[in-house]
Chains A and B, each alone.
Chain A
């Protein structure tokens, strides 16, 4: 498993990702100024998820690492999502 030995991510890629992250932050702050009702939270969390994904894929090297790491991360996030969804099977339908 020499997969990550031969891949060094360049400074350019990192800076590009960082610029994207900053741009997304600006976007989320701007959008927050408008009242979009229930969509506000969806958009805010959507942008946050994209940012988190970028950090994980590039900064945390998931894109270049062995496939097993991506499966692991998927399982972990899926578990958390299931916990939240199942808990809301209670709260969303109460009354």
Chain B
């Protein structure tokens, strides 16, 4: 496999095999997709469904921001507002960010990156997508039921979630099914990585994206069942009146919060770890340098998965836990910053003295580092017990997790999309338009969320429908930012959709990457590789790069 494709202007295919989009079909039309066990097609299915849900979530977010542009009622009733922020949270978390990178790009690229023909359990993979879609619909069906969607917030805190008359059960069951889908994906990836690595691909020759998916897989398997059972228990409590969490029946709402966050904090790492993996893929390619500290990045993924599972109660510093728990969880929260910082340092060190090319994917990666650093540091602020009391449940928190989740993972997803788009679809998008979209997204993002830090620090509570006049300016800037951000999203996706139809044919290796996916045609053939490669080099070996440049010139 040592031969690296040089930019020769073709897509790398020798014409003997059709690409996966045109390979022999078992079913016709749409059935060829929704019953396909090809990991690449399942990845695309996830991409389409995930982006559809994302669009819905963006609309809800837009409406919320519009409502908050001025104090008092603007466009909706308070009850509608409560339901909309709940739906926004549920959709964005369970239907967009959690499946965003592992299920879409992990499915498509994990087998290719480790030199396999498919994942270990292709049919389970398809089932996982079906569960995802079914779960999504179950969660959203409450929109059309009398009583309307849940108004509990995505956290479904007890006792309100057993008392409210809105349709909480569909949201709970939907999240349960989605959790199951996420578990199956994780299970599949771990088995794939253990069993299907190509000859010569030892653990430390795996691309870092594969490492991050491995760490994510363990978190998915070992944390998701906790939220599954918790949500199920709430549903059972609502259905049958069994006393478990409801204080009226002897329950303890704090236990619910513990269980909920035992999953939902690690879930944050399910969201961010694959994004970190993507950034570790993008940066060496566009800096033309071997990644700095490969082993540290690989180990830090595992360390984040481990420590990230031990910090959940920092969401509960104001509920009246014991002092021992308070300092313990505060300490552990600070510890998790170490592996995260290791990654940031390594990325920056990779950039140093690299030949940086500012292609769209690289711009998104740089935005990731910028946003993640802000999001990470404000996270540390909340880990401090005293400060946490002050900013708990304010819009400071909202700003913090949007910086990490959207500014981090969201931009990671966009970066991955621009990085791998030519490989996935065999077409090239307009790079100039992509860069313009990036400018809108970056500026819009900062305008949308940074004011919320300030408002929150000044005392603006989160999830509030109304606010005092002194917060007006911050909310106003934020809403304007949301318009700019959405403009950026529209430009970006229009550009990509046009490229699907009219973009010029992509070459096999448009960016000069050296991982396995760039050695095969764009788009890949059905079985990925004509012949299973034998891996001899380290994953980010750019020593050949100078020779490559010479050939090009």
Would you call B325 and A90 a contact (CB within 8 A)? yes
Q: Mark A84-95, 1 if CB is under 8 A from B, else 0.
A: 001101111111
B310 in contact (CB, < 8 A): yes
Which residues of A (10-66) have their CB < 8 Å from a CB of B?
Answer: none
Residues of chain B whose beta carbon lies under 8 Å from any beta carbon of chain A: 194, 218, 222, 226, 254, 258, 262, 309-310, 312-313, 320-325, 328-329
Chain A neighbourhood of B328, CB < 8 A: 86, 89
CB within 8 Å for A93 and B310 given contacts A79-B222, A87-B258: no
A82 in contact (CB, < 8 A): yes
Chain A neighbourhood of B320, CB < 8 A: 94
B52 to A: closest C-beta gap in Å: 34
B228 to A: closest C-beta gap in Å: 14
CB within 8 Å for A93 and B194 given contacts A82-B310, A83-B262, A86-B310: no
- For B226, give its contact among A75, A83, A90, A91 (CB under 8 Å): A83
Besides A75-B222, A90-B321, 4 more A-B contacts (Cβ < 8 Å) are A75-B218, A83-B262, A86-B329, A89-B329
- For A90, give its contact among B218, B222, B310, B313 (CB under 8 Å): B313
A8 in contact (CB, < 8 A): no
Measured in the bound complex, the distance between the Cα atoms of B302 and A75 in whole Å is 13
Measured in the bound complex, the distance between the Cα atoms of B321 and A79 in whole Å is 22
- For A93, give its contact among B222, B226, B323, B329 (CB under 8 Å): B323
- For B324, give its contact among A68, A76, A89 (CB under 8 Å): A89
How many chain A residues have a CB neighbour from B under 8 Å? 15
User: Is chain A's binding surface mostly helix, strand, loop or mixed?
Assistant: helix
Chain B neighbourhood of A91, CB < 8 A: 322
Most chain-B Cβ atoms within 10 A of its Cβ — which of A68, A75, A87, A95? Answer: A87
Measured in the bound complex, the distance between the Cα atoms of B324 and A76 in whole Å is 25
Chain B neighbourhood of A89, CB < 8 A: 322, 324-325, 328-329
Give 16 CB contacts A-B under 8 Å.
Answer: A79-B309, A82-B309, A82-B310, A83-B262, A86-B310, A86-B312, A86-B313, A86-B328, A86-B329, A87-B258, A87-B262, A90-B313, A90-B324, A90-B325, A93-B324, A94-B321
Measured in the bound complex, the distance between the Cα atoms of B324 and A95 in whole Å is 11
- For A92, give its contact among B258, B310, B313, B322 (CB under 8 Å): B322
Chain B neighbourhood of A93, CB < 8 A: 322-325
- Which A residue's beta carbon lies closest to that of B254? A90
Chain B neighbourhood of A95, CB < 8 A: 322
- Which A residue's beta carbon lies closest to that of B195? A1
Chain B neighbourhood of A75, CB < 8 A: 218, 222
- Which B residue's beta carbon lies closest to that of A90? B325
A2 to B: closest C-beta gap in Å: 15
Chain A neighbourhood of B258, CB < 8 A: 87, 90
A79 to B: closest C-beta gap in Å: 5
Would you call A94 and B309 a contact (CB within 8 A)? no
Chain A neighbourhood of B325, CB < 8 A: 86, 89-90, 93
A72 to B: closest C-beta gap in Å: 9
- Which A residue's beta carbon lies closest to that of B324? A93
B260 to A: closest C-beta gap in Å: 12
B276 to A: closest C-beta gap in Å: 21
B328 to A: closest C-beta gap in Å: 5
A78 to B: closest C-beta gap in Å: 10
B195 to A: closest C-beta gap in Å: 9
- Which B residue's beta carbon lies closest to that of A82? B310
Chain A neighbourhood of B312, CB < 8 A: 86
B335 to A: closest C-beta gap in Å: 13
A56 to B: closest C-beta gap in Å: 17
Measured in the bound complex, the distance between the Cα atoms of B290 and A67 in whole Å is 34
B269 to A: closest C-beta gap in Å: 14
